[in-house]
Chain A
């Protein structure tokens, strides 16, 4: 995609992001991580995620939205990461600042929490799922909250993509083209 096209697309999604009507514990958990050292590599082009953080997030998100349904696109086949990036870029920086640290923590958590000589991204799909389940069911509230923050971001990005709607039977907006933006 051309830079101009990419910028235009980003402009559209940057207006938006997503939500969570009633959704659960999203960024609150991140707040608990503020004391951890942040060593984020810098994002570029006005994006929230650096390239490395985007990859780390995608490794997590693709398991969050994994499906047996062949009609459901994989995470990487959508622009979901752009949607999450756009959302994070437009939120209060205080709210999102801990996110890069959390991504690193998840990446190294097999070693940190299970003393395994492995990184999250080196695990196979079943291993990643088992590891994420450990976060979801942790006895520590901050880990459960952090899991929900990442899960909900992934869901927000994924289910805002038109390609995902057919698999769940959502017929889409009634106005103009589904992607129309005022």
Chain B
């Protein structure tokens, strides 16, 4: 059963074995695994339930349906825009399907530095395999690589850099290219098409437009979740209460710590809502002679890993990725206004972007805001990370020129840098990357309820259970002990699979304790 709590009307009172908050890469996996094992599961999802039939390929309709704050969510200083999902299926509905396992050196570092010796590649392999089977992960075929990715690949190879065609979670992809606005064809194997229906078939009761606002515990034991039905503006309608023996918080690295803090369940570590990493990304745009129509076809299949070596340094590096936007997304990324801006927009069909995505050391925090659903997000880009991003922009320009670009635009907000082949790219490093001077985006907020063996330095234990509240688990990107340094979808789902199995193994104990 998947139902909008708004459409249902009235108040909701439920009892369940497990209440799962959030239905993205973590929550959907937990809900499906627990329901399939016979547990009585209720899922609360703040966003709406939009099926493939609702995916219209139009920015004006899809951005408010699929994204937190219609895509306008930002850090308090306005320097970073965060694109997070707000719908049944979460961010997996709009992501671009990169399917990477957790890098081995990251697992080794988490084991070594965060007291997680059980998180080995071998221990996680069954979870990776189960998740990848459900999501139908497979390599992108060469003939599926679109024109823009082929151009970027050619540039990469001319420079002798390391890059590869990635694995994705797609099945029967028609290569329309509208992945970021939700797949109209059911081909993207998001949670909406995989684990959510599986949870539904197994009997989970999934409520959309249902915002969890407080988790209550008594005697160190989780008891219930309280909240409201909410409309698109965040206005509360009917109330909800779910009494449960276990609660799995999977609302993402912004909402999960916000809810713990609002509930007074931050624990004693002082780390709830801290250690925010964003994988901050900046972009350079290449303008070509020929039309590319970069927005058509699979948006991201090529991946440049020349500038990240996690085995050498698991704390630093960056990757380059192709990016293409639809008109609104592109227009808002470009600098200036009026005729100058319009002139750039006239190159839309002949342009393609390259993102620098940083494995960041910089830290931030999340704290409750003035209104529910709008936490205050702080992030301070450290100088060294700014230098890394600037170096990455130089690499973007190099690869764009190697791919044949006749001009590269670095979109500094007040005075964009426009470079021709042969220009001194040192101009980019001279300008640098500083907050507020160039658009910075994040699609991967993480680490705000970090996992660890030491309750003094972490929020949840090795299987996602809160160190101080029995029966309360966290299963989303907020549990990553550090920045992941790779696209996070598979890691999130695999850790959630592991948490679900641990919860099932401990069910007798949890039920008896309730």
- Cβ of A43 within 8 Å of any chain B Cβ, yes or no, is no
Asked if A72 lies at the interface with its beta carbon under 8 angstroms from chain B, I say: yes
A156 is an interface residue with CB less than 8 A from chain B: yes
Q: Are A72 and B81 touching (Cβ within 8 A)?
A: no
Q: Contact check: which of B60, B62, B327, B332 meets A168 at CB < 8 Å?
A: B327
Q: Which residues of B contact A72 (CB under 8 A)?
A: 342
Chain B residue numbers with a CB within 8 Å of A103 are none
**Residue of B at shortest CB range from A173?**
B57
B388 on the interface (CB 8 Å rule)?
Answer: no
Query: Is B331 on the interface with A (CB-CB < 8 A)?
Result: yes
B39 contacts the other chain (Cβ, under 8 Å)? Answer: no
Q: How far is the CA of A136 from the CA of B440 in the complex (A)?
A: 18
* B-contact bits for A8-29, CB 8 A (1 contact / 0 none): 0000110111111111111111
Cα A179 to Cα B59 with chains together (Å): 11
Interface size class of A (residues with CB under 8 A): 35 or more
Q: Scan residues 56-74 of chain A and give those whose CB is less than 8 A from a CB of chain B.
A: 63-69, 72
A residues with CB within 8 A of B: 12-13, 15-29, 63-69, 72, 83, 87, 90-95, 129, 132, 136-137, 141, 144-145, 148, 151-152, 155-156, 158-160, 164-165, 167-171, 173-175, 178-182
Chain A to chain B contacts (Cβ below 8 Å), 23 pairs: A16-B63, A22-B333, A23-B329, A24-B333, A25-B436, A28-B74, A66-B342, A68-B342, A90-B64, A92-B69, A92-B233, A92-B371, A94-B371, A151-B337, A159-B327, A159-B328, A160-B59, A168-B349, A170-B295, A170-B349, A180-B56, A182-B53, A182-B55
- Ranked nearest first, the 7 interchain pairs of A and B with the lowest CB-CB distance are A28-B78, A169-B349, A22-B441, A23-B332, A19-B71, A19-B63, A67-B342
Q: B residues near A, CB below 8 A?
A: 53-65, 67, 69-72, 74-79, 81, 83, 176, 178, 180, 184, 232-234, 281, 283, 291, 293, 295-296, 325-333, 336-339, 341-343, 345-346, 348-350, 370-371, 373-374, 413-415, 436, 439-441
19 additional contacts (CB under 8 A) given A24-B78, A65-B342: A19-B332, A20-B63, A20-B328, A22-B281, A23-B332, A65-B341, A83-B60, A90-B233, A92-B234, A92-B373, A93-B233, A156-B60, A159-B330, A160-B60, A169-B350, A170-B295, A173-B56, A174-B178, A175-B56
